[in-house]
Structure 1
Amino acid sequence: MSDAASAAAARALIGDSEFDRDTAVFRREEGVYDLELSAGWTILGAVNGGYLLAVLGRALGDALPHPDPFTISAHYLTASRPGKAVVRTRTVRTGRTLSTGQASLFQYDEEGDEVERIRVLASYGDLAGLPDDVRTTATPPPIPPLEQCFGPEDGPDPLQGGSAIAGRLMLKLDPATLGWALGQPSGKGEMRAWFGLADGRDADPLSLLLAVDALPPTAFEMGLQGWVPTVELTVHVRQRPAPGPLRVSISTRNLAGGFLEEDAEVWDSADRLVAQSRQLARVRLG
């Protein structure tokens, strides 16, 4: 078997990958799910917001009658940490084409009391049932070919070993948005990259929730450093992605009062816009 064939054979499958195992939820009773937040999806010790959203998205996918997140909005209330957690869901409304649900993720304080980390409101449907009619002025982001882009393995770690999530991603950044890693940020609030999971698992609607929040913050290219915690994140999933790497483009137009917005687009290998998001994040100035 050739090296290429061996690599293809070794690719993880949807439903049987590290991402699936680490976002798994276990129904304790109707609407209540136990889980373990993995330390493998942390940045500077903080659990990645997109990974957390995927965990909540998986619980809602089990609780609601429709399979796919169409829109999901999360407010991040307190910082999550690796370890045990529980998700509590509630069905708000069920219709023929859409169902709406609410979910909250809780962890435990030193006294064993539940502390709410994230609260989500989401509408689910069936992406496979959507019509093929597409009318858009959006175009894929101008990213060089994957082999001309660079990942964490191509240079020194600017976070000094603080990014466990990097080992679980295939992330190749557009050189035009890499000035921050060389100590020469461009001052533009832009970040673009090829994105996939390191074990080769193809993208699905749940992993799109991770993809919108997996790139380095645009604040880095604006000359700022350190953790950029998410306050609120809304994701719209538009289509099921085709197999192959995704292209992710994130931009910030306004940083004011210590907060910035990040607008993300995710494109699949068939040049289709498969997800969009906007988040509000906090930055440290000075």
Structure 2
Amino acid sequence: MAEAVTAQAARGAIGDSEFDRDTAVVRREPGVHDIDLSAGWTIAGAVNGGYLLAVLGRALADTLPHSDPFTVSAHYLTASRPGPAVIRTDVVRTGRTLSTGQASLFQYDDEGHEVERIRVLASYGDLDALPDDIRTSAEPPAIPPLDRCFDAQDGPAPVSGSSAIVERLMLRLDPATLGWALGSPSGKGEMRAWFGLADGRDTDPLALLLAVDALPPTAFELGLSGWVPTVELTVHVRSRPAPGPLRVSITTRNLAGGYLEEDAEVWDSADRLVAQSRQLARVRLS
């Protein structure tokens, strides 16, 4: 399995891959971008939240004087569908090291009314200009080697309907967090996996916005099933990832009132913490 992943690495390159094509935005005029949201990044017909974040992240990179997302906070207002969408961006502030902007994605509903799907506030900078000083107590997650983990397609489909996004990802799930697939969820809100893009494209800062929302929900290991829609998601990008597969660890400590939080850490092949996130999501309790 590891050999297969290595062989894929020559087929995808940053700037020339399915992810780049499907997140590409076309500037219609300053502050307005068009995109056709791909059906390839959907789960049960709904467009994945991490893919959407990468789409808006690319529009903001085209709008702001800095190109790298540092922090991105998104509120998911209505479910996005594959098809045409418009992104409107505004520059909030520009500075020497950071610039801040906001963006909203709109689509038309069945009655022809414009509907806002997602709204983002983000600060951008230059990751390559950050100092090398690191002081941390964080440690990479203990995940078995790739050849001892399982493909996301090895188990039963956790959500009814198509999961097209799975075909575009290299996900190898930690067996210790796969009890839900065997009918015996652990009761622990944990999910861990190796992550990459299926065509071998290395992960850049925009793809990190996808990585934090690409694993099966931790709710599955709590004995719940079905769609777990994101209400709010904040991502902190800490460093440009080194080439190679990433390790993603997601934990939930509290489910109450039909909502849970998910805290994610993303580690690169050089054992660096390259991204963190927290999201609030809604769960179906019955």
Per the shorter chain, which TM-score range?
Answer: over 0.9
Q: How do 1:1-286 and structure 2 match up within 5 A?
A: 7=7, 10-159=10-159, 162-286=162-286
User: TM-score, structure 1 length as denominator?
Assistant: 0.96
Deviates more, 1:105-114 or 1:161-170: 105-114
CA distance in 2, matches of 1:154, 1:74: 32
Deviations 1:86-120, CA, capped at 9 Å, x for gaps: 00000000000000000000001234332100000
CA apart distance, 1:44: 1.3
Q: For 1:154, what is the secondary structure of its paired residue?
A: coil
Structure 1 outlier segments of 4+, above 6 Å: 3-6
Letter in 1 for 2:254: N
* Secondary structure in 1 matching 2:150: coil
TM-score (norm 2): 0.96
CA distance in 1, matches of 2:135, 2:77: 37
**C-alpha distance in structure 2 between counterparts of 1:165 and 1:49, whole Å:** 11
Q: Distance in 1 between matches of 2:149 and 2:224?
A: 22
Distance 1:186 1:176 in 2: 9
Of stretches 237-246 and 105-114 in structure 1, the one that deviates more from structure 2 is: 105-114
SS at match of 2:123: strand
Task: Note the C-alpha offset of 1:166.
Answer: 0.3
Aligned counterparts of 2:176 and 2:84: Cα–Cα separation in 1: 40
Q: Give the drift of 1:168.
A: 0.2
Task: Work out the percentage of aligned pairs sharing the same amino acid.
Answer: 83
Give 3-state SS (helix, strand or coil) of 2:208's partner.
Answer: helix
SS at match of 2:187: coil
Cα distance in 2, alignment partners of residues 238 and 6 from structure 1: 26
Separation (CA, whole Å) in 1 of partners of 2:258 and 2:111: 33
Specify the code of the residue in structure 1 equivalent to 2:202.
D
Q: CA separation in 2, counterparts of 1:88 and 1:209?
A: 19
For the residues of structure 2 that align with 1:156 and 1:281, how far apart are their CA atoms?
22
For residues 11 and 137 of structure 1, the distance between their equivalents in structure 2, rounded to whole angstroms, comes to 36
Distance 1:77 1:4, change over 3 A: closer
Residue 152 of structure 1 and its aligned partner are, at CA, apart by: 2.6
Q: Structure 2, unaligned stretches of length 5 or more? A: none
Q: Residues 7, 161 of structure 1: CA spacing in aligned structure 2 closer, same or farther, 3 A cutoff? A: farther
Q: Distance in 2 between matches of 1:251 and 1:104?
A: 28
Kindly state the Cα deviation for residue 46 of structure 1 after the two structures are TM-superposed: 1.1
Matching residue's letter, 1:241: P
Deviation per residue, 1:227-264 (Å, 9 max, x gap) = 00000000000000000000000000000000000000
Asked if 1 retains the 8 angstrom alpha-carbon contact of 2:160 and 2:226, the reply is: no
**2-structure distance, mates of 1:261, 1:277:** 10
1:40 is paired with a residue of what secondary structure?
helix
